[in-house]
Chains A and B, each alone.
Chain A
Amino acid sequence: MAVIAYWEAIRRAHDEELANDPMVIAMGEDIGVAGGTYKATQGLYDKYGPERVIDTPISENSYTGIGIGASMAGMRPIIEIMSINFALLALDTIINAAAKIRYMSGGRVQCPIVIRTPGGTAHQLAAQHSARLARMFMSTAGLRVVTPRGPLDAYGMLKSAVRCNDPVIVIEHEQMYNLKEEVPDEEFFRPLEGAEVVREGEDITLIGYNYSVHLCLEAARRLEADGISAEVIDLRALKPIDRETIRRSVEKTHRVLVAEEDEAPVGVGSEIITGIIEDCFFALDAQPVRIHAADVPVPYAENLEKAAIPDADDVYQGALKVMGRI
């Protein structure tokens, strides 16, 4: 067991998967000689060479498309897109090609590609570097979408994503690359499906994914001081969503809050709460609450940015509202 950072976990998964299978390659802007914007491929260019750790020009749609084409011929590319904002340039090839090729070929051609990209606000990066956009991918049939909350999943899910035969979008977070966690030294895999109860509780279920799991955990600690026992669920995967784990928890706690960093219209919260209404409406003792960003482009000024993006206090206050305490 060693305590390693999120970026180190991703780097280790790359290293092991590149070593394991010669068909695995990594592609992206500045991932080779420069070692990666988030150091996720640091040192791997020297170890595996320019043919396997490929520095690309700033052509998101086409280098992603090249990765997809290579995957159709049996390769397993891991693509890094520097920011989810830039992934918008590659939506044609991701959504119109990768997500649909298996289906429209009647199952005869597959695209085992992994696309990693950080989504989320960091510090005052303003509107064009702060998008989250998980909802854009989670609404597309033919994709898998995962959102590792820490090094353990960042490592284990990336390894599974490389091995799995479907296109997988791995959504990371600008603010999590230095987050640390204990990770076993021996190789392991973490599945691409299944939500996880990361904290057990009795009175309310707080549901998050990616960074917002940490907001939920912090809120849960504060709620405990108020005598409220909160259960925290990490969705882990936004496509497909594990409705069963959510249902079981809500049937136990009868109260629920969903925390997302994205804007609310047509988002994770609306999807999860709709699922709860369909699956276990009568288990609810209180109206569900969504904690989400303000419906604005993310502002630059520090105070405005803080006001636009939910934090642990917002989750805590929201939970008190569900509990009828405010």
Chain B
Amino acid sequence: MNEADRKRLLREMMFYRRFEDRCFEAYMERKIGGFLHLYSGQEAVATGVLEKARVNRGTDGDYVITGYRDHIHAIKTGAPPREVMAELYGKETGSSRGRGGSMHIFDPTVNFMGGYALVGQPFPLAAGLALACKHKSTDQIAICFLGDGANNQGTFHETMNMASIWDLPVLFVCENNQYAIGTRIDRSTAVTDQYKRMCAYNIEASQHDGMDIDVVMEAAEKAIDYVRGKRRPYFIEFMTYRFRGHSMSDAKGYRTREEEKEWEKRDPIRIFSARLIEEGVITPEDIKAMEKEIDDEIENDIVRFAEESPPPKVEDLTRYVLDDNPDPRWIGPLQK
């Protein structure tokens, strides 16, 4: 990977961190409602995996799907950040026209197939997207990002089994941040190394550091090559940590400040920026300048767009429930 790309990746992760921080501020100002789950701390996973996937290629790209902590996955897949922010603001210009909110970002123009609130629900949807890729004989794959907690849902076991017996080209990315809201993984899960659970389904699996984007990219590249080439599922687990609370109303009473500090030392942005400085790719001054540029973009382009966009029209409340322009041949009315 050339220097320009490495610099771009650092900028992307810094942008994602700032984007989420800005969401936090907007939430505090009550400009964003509902549940808001931020991705800070886990940036290296989505950034690194999707860097190696085929994203931002319109509908020819890979399919990407995830849970409710979805802003960054959507943006890295190619959803315009202004539209994601406008969605959080509940605006008509939002990714889901203001109908979805933070947990339901969609952008089918880049094959980002959503954000879902039901823990574990995306597993079968991802396998279905992969089934479609297989059926159409394209070399696309489906990539499903979910947390460690999701692996205790029935859909996890059911889907792994079917993905395996049907040879579905799907990459399951487990973002193991070791907590499901306030329940630490060893209190909820018999086998805490998640990749080990794949032996029951005859699915190739591996576990890696999720805080170092170089490690993530190397592992993801192999896994994606495997899924794309072998047309088989793969399960990749990344050990990571979320720096903020589960959502906005989390006092984090379930973990110690010491534990948090240990993980903060492994901040993916810190690790990567230190490496780039050491490699001579970038200087601390460049980083400062980048921060300013990002602030400016988020404030003057992205947030402004969200603020100035109109809300959905109340007259449109019942649009999008069913197909708004159905073919009367299938729908009716019934000819007497």
Q: Which residues of B247-270 have CB atoms within 8 Å of chain A's CB atoms?
A: none
Tell me the minimal C-beta distance from B336 to chain A in angstroms: 8
Q: How far is the CB of B153 from chain A (nearest CB, A)?
A: 9
Contact among A51, A69, A74, A160 with B127 in the assembled complex (CB-CB below 8 Å): A69
- A96 vs B104: C-alpha distance in the bound complex, in angstroms? 12
Indicate whether B290 reaches chain A with its CB closer than 8 angstroms. Answer: no
Known contacts A102-B322, A106-B97, A141-B321; A69/B114 CB under 8 A: no
Residues of B within 8 A of A105 (CB): 96, 99-100, 104, 106, 108, 114, 320
Contact present for A96 and B118 (CB under 8 Å): yes
A274 within 8 A of B: no
Determine the chain A residues whose CB is within 8 A of the CB of B95 once the complex forms: 106
Distance of B267 from chain A, by nearest CB (Å): 33
In the complex, the answer to whether B334 meets A97 with C-beta atoms within 8 Å is no
B158 touches A72 (CB 8 A): no
Residues in B neighbouring A11, C-beta threshold 8 A: none
Contact B100 A73 (CB under 8 A): no
A191–B99 touching, CB < 8 Å: no
Q: Mark A40-74, 1 if CB is under 8 A from B, else 0.
A: 00000000000100101101011111111111111
Interface size range on A against B: 35 or more
For B94, give the chain A residue with the smallest CB separation: A106
Cα distance A63–B165 when bound, in Å?
12
Looking at B97, B106, B329, the one whose CB has the most chain A CB atoms below 10 A away is: B106
* Complex alpha-carbon distance, A110 and B108, angstroms: 10
Which of B63, B114, B131 is packed against the most chain A CB atoms within 10 Å? B131
Interface residue A164 (Cβ < 8 Å from any Cβ of B)? yes
Among A57, A75, A97, A193, contact of B333 (Cβ-Cβ < 8 Å):
A193
Number of interface residues of B (CB under 8 A): 55
**B residues in contact with A107, CB < 8 Å:** 97, 99, 319-320, 324
Residue B211, interface by CB 8 Å: no
A61 pairs with B155, CB closer than 8 A = yes
Write out, one digit per residue, whether chain B residues 142-174 have a CB within 8 A of any chain A CB (1) or not (0): 100000000000110011011001100000000
Report the separation of the CA atoms of residues A246 and B99 in the bound assembly, to the nearest whole angstrom: 34
Given A65-B121, A108-B107, A163-B329, check contact A70 B135 (CB 8 Å): yes
- Is A128 in contact with chain B by the CB < 8 A criterion? no
Cross-chain contact A104 with B158 (CB below 8 angstroms):
no
User: When the two chains form their complex, are residues A75 and B155 in contact, meaning their CB atoms are under 8 A apart?
Assistant: no
The reply to whether B165 and A93 contact each other, CB–CB distance below 8 Å, is no
Q: Does A103 contact B (CB under 8 A)?
A: yes
Closest CB in chain A relative to B48 CB, distance in Å: 24
Specify which chain B residues have a CB less than 8 angstroms from the CB of A104 in the assembled complex: 96, 99-100, 104, 106, 114
Q: Return the contact of B332 from the options A59, A163, A191 (Cβ within 8 A).
A: A191
Decide yes or no whether A322 CB sits under 8 A from chain B: no
Would you call A166 an interface residue if the criterion is a C-beta within 8 Å of the partner chain's C-beta atoms?
Answer: yes
A62 pairs with B94, CB closer than 8 A: no
Collect the chain B residues with CB atoms within 8 Å of residue A12's CB.
none
Across the interface, which residues of B come within 8 angstroms of A192, CB to CB? 330-332
In the complex, are the beta carbons of A72 and B96 less than 8 A apart?
Answer: no
Report B-chain residues with C-beta under 8 Å of the C-beta of A195: 334
Task: Flag whether B113 is at the interface (Cβ < 8 A).
Answer: yes
- Judged by a CB distance under 8 angstroms, whether B132 is at the interface is yes
B330 neighbours in A (Cβ, 8 Å): 160-161, 163-164, 189, 191-192
CA distance A144 to B328 in the complex (A): 15
A-B contact pairs, 6 of them (CB 8 A): A59-B162, A61-B154, A97-B116, A105-B104, A106-B94, A191-B330
Known: A64-B124, A191-B330. 10 other contacts (CB 8 A): A25-B135, A57-B162, A63-B124, A66-B124, A69-B113, A75-B131, A102-B323, A106-B94, A109-B114, A164-B323
- A: residues with CB less than 8 A from B are 23, 25, 51, 54, 56-57, 59, 61-75, 92-93, 96-97, 101-110, 141-142, 144, 160-161, 163-166, 189-196, 236
> Which 6 interchain pairs have the tightest Cβ spacing?
A69-B128, A65-B124, A106-B97, A191-B332, A194-B334, A62-B158
